[in-house]
Each structure stands twice: as structure tokens, then as C-alpha cells.
């Protein structure tokens, strides 16, 4: 598969030229940023996938660990992004205690767009590129931290981007992100 621009991509504007309601990075700008920073990746286009279950057949043909991503807010207003392997069971009550959050609930679409520049169904760790104020705390499943290849949406749910662990850690380093790594399997 190729890394072709998404048909609904925004025009090619520099981040400073963007209207206030558009994120600094969309799929095309993310792809350019990865190329400029020598982040090796492979992106596969596919029909839109909104839930993990919808993409199981599609993902079966793509190597690496596939993800589910939860955009959350706690009672104190702190924002969280949990990225876990697609088959991981996440108990939000237990997770809250482990990561130091107050009661967790799902963040709303407006806040997701404002901080990560994505819509529901497209939540991804790569959205952290749009969170320049570091408002979102990143939590990563231990199994993704240990995986040879991780797969995330490139800010749209019509594609999947595969990064080997070196490339993924380079992205995190370039974004100034040190994730809280949690072994969700031991939380039950």
C-alpha cells in the first residue's frame, strides 16, 4: 500500500498560517515531519475503522502490535491518552490508581480536537504532535513498549502507520514525551 494523501486533507499550510480551529498537523504534515526527522515508517491506506473490532480482519495482514487508544479526562480536569495493544482489557478504576489520576471518564470530542487534532475513531499516540502544551499525559501499555513494531492511525482512521520500536521511541523523544508505561495485563 502507498502513503497517498487523504482525499479530505486540509490544504498545505504552514502551522502559523492555519485557522485557529485546525490542528497544526494533519496526516500529510505528520508524514512530512516524520520524513524531515528521519523517522522510518510504513503507512497503509484502508477503509475507515472506528472501533478495534471493525479492523481485526484488516489488521491481520499488517505486521506488528495493533493499538487501541483512549482519550480520557479525570475529575481534576487532567487529560490522559492511554495507548494499549488492541486486545488489552483496561479497567479504568484500576488504571486511575496506577497512573495517579482521579476518577477517569472519556474526554469529549471538542477537547480531543483541541489537544490532539483528531476526531473520534482516529485517536492515536501520533496525535501528541498537536499537543504542544503537553496538556495530555501519555500512558503506554508495556506490551507496546516491548513490541518490535507498533501500529497507529496517522491522525486519520483511514490509514495505519507502522513504526519499529526505534522509530516510535524517536517520535516520543522528538515530541519531548516520556510515557508512563503500565503493564495492563497485571492489572486485570
pTM of the model: 0.84
Match 522528538 to its residue by C-alpha cell: 174
Which of 12, 50, 17 has the alpha carbon at shortest distance from 28?
Answer: 12
As averages over each run of 10 residues, the pLDDT of the chain (188 residues) reads 35 42 91 97 83 60 88 97 95 94 94 95 96 97 97 94 98 98 87
What CATH number does the domain containing 112 carry?
3.90.960.10
User: Does 12 reside within a domain?
Assistant: no
Which of 35, 63, 55, 75 has the alpha carbon at shortest distance from 167?
Answer: 35
- pLDDT at position 144: 97
Which structural domain, as residue segments, surrounds residue 68? 23-187
User: Does 15 reside within a domain?
Assistant: no
User: Does 16 reside within a domain?
Assistant: no
Query: Could you write out the three-class secondary structure of the chain?
Result: CCCCCCCCCCCCCCHHHCCCCCCCCCHHHHHHHHHHCCCCCEEEECCCCCCHHHHHHHHHCCCCEEEEEEEEEECCCCEEEEEEECCCCCCHHHHHHHHCCCCEEECCHHHHHHHHCCCCCCCCHHHHHHCCCCCEEEEEEHHHHHCCEEEECCCCCCEEEEEEHHHHHHHHHHCCCCCEEECHHHHC
- pLDDT at position 53: 62
User: Does 14 reside within a domain?
Assistant: no
- pLDDT at position 47: 72
Q: How many residues does the chain have?
A: 188
Number of domains into which the chain is organized: 1
User: Does 89 reside within a domain?
Assistant: yes
User: Does 63 reside within a domain?
Assistant: yes
User: Does 13 reside within a domain?
Assistant: no
User: Does 1 reside within a domain?
Assistant: no
Amino acid at each position: 500500500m502507498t502513503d497517498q494523501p487523504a482525499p479530505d486533507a486540509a490544504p498545505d499550510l504552514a502551522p502559523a498560517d492555519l485557522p485557529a480551529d485546525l490542528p497544526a498537523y494533519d496526516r500529510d504534515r505528520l508524514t512530512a515531519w516524520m520524513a524531515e526527522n528521519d523517522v522510518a515508517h510504513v503507512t497503509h491506506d484502508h477503509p475507515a475503522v472506528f472501533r478495534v473490532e471493525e479492523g481485526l480482519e484488516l489488521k491481520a495482514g499488517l505486521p506488528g502490535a495493533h493499538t487501541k487508544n483512549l482519550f480520557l479526562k479525570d475529575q481534576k480536569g487532567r487529560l490522559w491518552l492511554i495507548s494499549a495493544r488492541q486486545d488489552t482489557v483496561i479497567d479504568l478504576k484500576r488504571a486511575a490508581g496506577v497512573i495517579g489520576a482521579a476518577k477517569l471518564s472519556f474526554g469529549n470530542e471538542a477537547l480531543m480536537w483541541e489537544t490532539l487534532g483528531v476526531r473520534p475513531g482516529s485517536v492515536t499516540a501520533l496525535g501528541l504532535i498537536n499537543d504542544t502544551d503537553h496538556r495530555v499525559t501519555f500512558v503506554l501499555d508495556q506490551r507496546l513498549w516491548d513490541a518490535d513494531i507498533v501500529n497507529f492511525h496517522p491522525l486519520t482512521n483511514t490509514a495505519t502507520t507502522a513504526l519499529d520500536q526505534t522509530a516510535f521511541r524517536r517520535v516520543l523523544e522528538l515530541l519531548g514525551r516520556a510515557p508512563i508505561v503500565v503493564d495492563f495485563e497485571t492489572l486485570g
